[in-house]
Amino acid sequence: MKFASVDIRRTRACMGVLALCLSLFSCAALAGSAAAFDTAPARAALKRLLLRHQAQIELVVLDAGGAERFEVGGTPGHIKVAGTSPAVLLAGVEAYLERVPKVSIGWPGDSLDRLPKTLPAPPQAFDSRAVVPDRFALNDVDDGYSDAYLDWPGWERKIDLLVLRGINEVFMPVGSEEVYRRTFREFGYSDEALRAWIPAPAHQPWWLLQNMSAFGGPVSARQFEQRTELGQKIVARLRELGMTPVFPGYFGTVPPQLAVHYPGTRLVPQGAWVGFQRPDWLDPREPLFARIAAAFYRHQRELFGDSAMFKMDLLHEGGRAGDVPVGDAARGVMAALQTAHPGARWVMLGWQHNPPKAVVEAVDRDKLLVVDGLSDRYDGMDREKDWPGVPYAFGTIPNFGGHTTLGANTTVWVERFAAARAKPGNKLRGIAYMPEGSGTDPAAYALFTALAWQSDAIDLGHWWKDYATSRYGGADTHAAEAWRILGDTAFAMPSSEWSEAQDSLFGARPDLQARSAATWSPTAMRYDAGRFEGAVCALLQVAPELRETSAYRYDLVDVTRQAVSNRARLRLPQIKAAYEAKNVSAFRELTAQWMGDMETLDRLLASDPHFLLGRWLVHAKASAGSDAERAQLEYDQRSILASWGDRSGADGGGLHDYANREWSGLVGGLYAGRWRRYFASLEQSLAGQAPAPIDWFALEQVWARSREALATEPQGDTWQLAHKAAHRLGICAGGDVLSKIPHP
């Protein structure tokens, strides 16, 4: 192995290589030749991430030698990280931070303030190599649920957080609307018609999936331009860091009335998707399909360059093949892709009945990659049987709609990933981290991505202890206890039929029978809620010097938030019993407790920037060119949290509250308003008056179209507010322990 420094020490190349050999590796490492790449993009990322300490880290090119790996060594104040690509270099930096100074950069929250002035050297050099080549991230719908209007600084940060965990393939749909616009302008459509067909950005992911169209539009030319420019920046940064942008491919979605432009063309109507009319599907055997696909890939290349990976799913969530043979359709889609991008891989989501066997049996399986969304959800699955000979990535979708609910099936991850790797003849090639809304559960993200860099199965007991230390920047018995409890409860959920925890009843359309907010969420607790509450008490007792990190503040809000939310599942049956017994005084007392819990929760959430609805809406407003457009784009964002779409989808299709979250401004706004009105109607009934019917969709639309000013900066002391919430819930032996905890 030969290492070539491409940092500022080029003028001392010989001495640098010799010093590196002596301090980091044996002199035998000089055999061979180094793979050439520019470390400047990794250096730039390092400056963004470690502004005060980046000069103490030298980035060095490492000969690949057939595997992606990094090696770390050095002396105090002069840390050397060698890696086989810019992305791997940064994964090495994160490994150093966690293992040596014991700090971390999470998504979100970090403990970098705990770094000493001089970076300590590793007691001995260490290395790590990727056990799988494909490390994929982001769901098809992440752009909609995370923030469709995220600006470039936001995306820059997002990419940095992905690369720090060794991700090397990123789904990138931003700007695809311009590809479609340019493509179908060639086939007779007006610009006006196409902009009316394409939804507003927060709803575009489902249009790309062929589920819907038009909602929230028409989109302005300004939006097309901005999104295209942003997509170009994202793609350029991914490539600089040695990451592969995974683009949407073309599989046959067409605007309305294509048959008017091209009479006799075979189209397959796709019917409805939870209340929305789906776009038609062009039969891939049609000569016109090849022409449209060629134009699509040409415009995509002109705008964003080439890629080796393209994501598309035929017949997603109930799509109809009609009388088109699915295998023949798959061959047509693959032929168009290979004509435009010879050797490219077709990426598919493993979800429900997707991909159909007829698809994977019809094409070159070596040019496929299935990113499995169900690896941890059901028992008895065998992906080698489901997709014979098809390379796949072990994947998870640990939240839906961007829910803020905490937890994941981590024990299932560790056991099944190790078993899949050990299986003779397996086609496991990667991991796929695919929450529908990213950036809500830093522990789940850190643990899942660690799978790709561990040669042996992860020991979760040790992992949670180490995580607690690096998360807050120092060893602490109470932090360790908190994460031991969390690791045994919310992060130890079993597989059965769920990959996420229960959502919040505060976010449900009010009903005494409510068991979930979203139609497709778990209807009961998936872990011991009483045991979980012990984590709140433990976190409150973490040493004062560790409480100043953004990681600690985020976790304290998140864990306390979850404890308050879990209590709602005990309170609602009590309210129901009081109502049915016509016990007015008990009903009033219990509903007052419920509304008080919501007020307490909203105040707690307001103390951290990551739980502010106002901050989430800022980018939509900022991207608009007029007040009318600001109203349009804010509605696009707000609606997806409440009714989601039109009445047919919200009420008939069950989409309302699919993307429920516990954020300040949302809990104290829409959610509290709904429950207050509902309880008032029930009290009317107890008084012998007929309660007026409540049109929840209409109420949600009023909220979605409102434009009240919301806080964009945190307010209040997180520790004090969490302390008050714990006291309200009676956590920590009814408050005895709380009274002894020293205040910051």
CATH number of the domain bearing residue 63: 3.30.379.10
508 membership: H or E segment, kind and range = none
- Whichever domain contains 560, its CATH number is 1.20.120.670
Query: Is 691's pLDDT higher than 90?
Result: no
| 717 falls within a domain | yes
40 has pLDDT over 90: yes
Are residues 122 and 260 located together in one domain of the fold? Answer: no
Q: Each residue of 712-722: pLDDT tens digit?
A: 999 999 999 99
Contacting residues for 706 by C-beta, under 8 A, at least 6 apart: 638
Q: Which of 430, 458, 486 is the last residue of a domain?
A: 458
- Report yes or no: 427 and 384 within 8 Å, Cβ to Cβ: yes
In-domain check, residue 478: no
Give the range among 35-44, 60-69, 129-138, 516-525 with minimum mean pLDDT: 60-69
Q: Is the peptide bond preceding residue 263 cis, with omega within 30 degrees of 0?
A: no
Same domain, 215 and 116: no
**One domain for residues 302 and 172:** yes
Structural domain total, the chain? 3
Query: Strand 309-311 to strand 368-372: parallel, antiparallel, or no bridges (unpaired)?
Result: unpaired
Claim to verify: residue 190 and residue 310 sit in the same structural domain = yes
Res 402: pLDDT: 97
* pLDDT of 122 over the 90 cut: yes
Q: What is the pLDDT of residues 351-388, one digit of tens each?
A: 988 999 999 999 999 999 999 999 999 999 999 999 99
- Do residues 312 and 384 both lie within one domain? yes
Cβ burial 183-217 (10 Å sphere, 16+ → b, else e)? bbeeeebeeebbbbbbbbbbbbbbbbbbbbbbbbb
Q: Is 656 exposed, middle or buried (0-12, 13-18, 19+ CB in 10 A)?
A: buried
Would you call the peptide bond into 108 cis, given omega within 30 degrees of 0 as the criterion?
yes
pLDDT (0 to 100) of residue 13: 35
pLDDT of residue 353: 87
665 backbone φψ class: left, alpha, beta (φ>0; ψ -120 to 50): left
Phi then psi for residue 142, to 5 deg, are: -60, -40
Q: Quick one: pLDDT at residue 690?
A: 87
Judgement on whether residues 552 and 624 belong to the same structural domain of the protein: yes
Task: Classify residue 480: in a domain, yes or no.
Answer: no
pTM here is: 0.93
* 520-571 tens-digit pLDDT: 999 999 999 999 999 999 999 999 999 999 999 999 999 999 999 999 999 9
236 DSSP β-pair partners: none
**Assigned domain for 486 exists:** no
The kind and range of the H/E element at 195 are helix 191-197
Under a CB-based contact definition with an 8 Å cutoff, are residues 270 and 278 in contact? Answer: yes
What is the C-alpha to C-alpha distance for residues 175 and 464, in angstroms, rounded to an integer?
39
- In which domain, by residue range, is 11 found? 3-129
Give me the percent of the chain exceeding a pLDDT of 90.
91
Q: Are residues 265 and 183 in the same domain?
A: yes
Q: Is residue 300 located within the same domain as residue 339?
A: yes
Residue 7 has pLDDT above 50, yes or no: no
Instruction: Give pLDDT tens digits for 303-325.
Output: 999 999 999 999 989 999 999 99
Q: What confidence score (pLDDT) does residue 742 get?
A: 57
Q: How far apart are CA 568 and CA 423, in angstroms?
A: 43
Domain end (from 129, 155, 181): 129
The verdict on residue 467 lying in a domain is no
Identify whether residues 111 and 151 lie together within a single domain: no
In a domain, 593, yes or no: yes
For residue 550 the two structure tokens come to: 């953004």
| 409 is a domain residue | yes
Per-residue DSSP letter, 118:
S
Helix (H, G, I), strand (E, B) or coil at 104: coil
E strands in 66-105? 69-75, 78-83
Q: Which of 109, 129, 149 is the last residue of a domain?
A: 129
Question: Would strands 280-282 and 253-254 be described as parallel, antiparallel, or unpaired?
Answer: antiparallel
Return the residue matching tokens 């393209």.
310
138 shares a domain with 123: no
145 and 122 housed in the same domain: no
In a domain, 479, yes or no: no
Q: For the residues 173-184, what does the mean pLDDT come to? A: 98
Task: Identify the band that residue 710 occupies on the pLDDT scale cut at 50, 70 and 90.
Answer: very high
pLDDT tens for residues 589-642?
A: 999 999 999 999 999 999 999 999 999 999 999 999 999 999 999 999 999 999
Q: Give the C-alpha separation, 443 to 485, whole Å.
A: 13
Q: Is 416 exposed, middle or buried (0-12, 13-18, 19+ CB in 10 A)?
A: middle
Residues 427 and 309 in one domain: yes
